[in-house]
Amino acid sequence: MNKITDVTRRDILDIIRVGFNGTYKERKLDYYEHEYIEEVPCEYKMCYHGRLSEIDFLSRIYDLKSMKSTDSRFRDAESDIWQHTVNNDDWDMDWVFSDPRFKLNTGSDDPLLKFLCEMFHPVVRNETQPWREFLKIINELLKPDGYELYEMSHISGRAVYGWREIVANSIVIAEHNPAVSYELKPIGEGSYAKVFKYKDNYYKRTFVLKRAKKELNKNELERFKREFEQMKALDSPYIVDVFRYNDESNEYIMEYMDCTLEKFISENNGKLTFVQRKNIASQVLRAFKYIHSKDLLHRDVCPKNVLVKLYDDVRVVKVSDFGLVKIPDSELTSVSTDYKGYFNDPELRLEGFNTYCIIHETYAITRLVVFILTGRTNTGKIENTQLKEFVVKGLNTDKTKRFQNIDELIETFNKIKE
């Protein structure tokens, strides 16, 4: 195969020859002895043959005794190389990259990929050198040409790397031994991310992958990762589980749910009993009671952000999408943050989304409960007296008369009868 372009070859070989500039994180103290992290510029360099001599390294990939010598005095490449790199030491340091016998700067992709994998082998690599940084930047260069170096197996707990072609729209699960790649099937898209599902053959389960869009800026990526971290920190049967974040590709894995609450209600609106509807709403309210107990506000309460899992004997609903979650003292919510969430209080358009507080959250939750109990978003034609009282209080234009906390809302909800 010849997928690796001349440009990629050049860049990879230049990095191996001369290294590259990067940064590392260093903990420091300011004038007031407050700790902070500073990214310090540095230069990364690494010897490609690591702990081994050049001949020992090359012998792991090539049969040097069968290769021709370029010096007529010697019968094979091994003798030739020893004479000029050890005995005379009269070849350039980087001779191997331009030597046509090794096919590293031209021709098929296979020799270069094998060479790169061997550089990172536990027998070869020097653990005191920045091999992880080299592996990362080489993978970044290979990716556009459709290749990656991946953890193929382990020796004494240390990764052995192989190479493979990258399948479009795939995910690599490095935790499986050996690592495996699964095809991704798109199932949705939001403001920040594209959403896929895949079947994990080891666990015999379907999972969801949420991948940040490439055009996100630094703050948006930070918010995207914060969504994962916040969901990971929560431990409730009514919050969607998340499992692993990949910093290199800005994506994370989460549990698969069958559909959104919006879709479920739409498809089953004529079949759901009042008892079933109230059970669904009760689960949603338990979720928000837990969220609020952690001093968090979801801020994007709507039927699309509540997901449904259909088991043989029960329906489980879970709250998802914490991308707009409000955390105390967070600096990611500015005055200019856009109004979002179609169940949110419309007065937020004038007040500014940064003013969002508990009475705005209970407003949205009230609308969500009404949608679950009636299957409608219109609150103007409600005949049930108790539900009407619930709506009047939850959506009151006078904010002092609204539900001031989730417990107050739940208490009134529990009084609603068919």
Q: Which residues are annotated as a binding site for ATP?
A: 214
Rounded Cα–Cα distance for residues 375 and 389 (Å): 18
Token pair for 348: 């937020």
- Provide the residue count of the chain: 418
Token pair for 253: 């894995």
**Cα–Cα distance list, 269 to 276, 357, 368, 372 (Å):** 11, 32, 15, 9
Q: Strand 193-200 to strand 242-246: parallel, antiparallel, or no bridges (unpaired)? A: unpaired
| Cβ(169)–Cβ(194) below 8 Å | no
| Cβ(363)–Cβ(302) below 8 Å | no
CB neighbours (10 Å) of residue 65? 11
Burial of 346 (0-12, 13-18, 19+ CB in 10 A): exposed
| Cβ(46)–Cβ(26) below 8 Å | no
Place of tokens 């010849």: 2
Burial of 158 (0-12, 13-18, 19+ CB in 10 A): middle
3-state percent breakdown (helix, strand, coil) of the chain, nearest 5? 35, 20, 40
Token pair for 58: 């090359």
CA atoms within 13 A on the CB side of 272: 22
174 contact partners, CB below 8 Å, separation of at least 6: 150, 151
Rounded Cα–Cα distance for residues 286 and 139 (Å): 45
Q: Which helix (H) or strand (E) holds 307?
A: strand 306-310
Output the known binding site. 214
Burial of 201 (0-12, 13-18, 19+ CB in 10 A): exposed
How does DSSP classify residue 353? G
Q: For residue 373, list its beta bridge partners.
A: none
**Cα–Cα distance list, 93 to 54, 89, 283 (Å):** 10, 9, 68
Nearest to 167 by CA among 146, 144, 187: 146
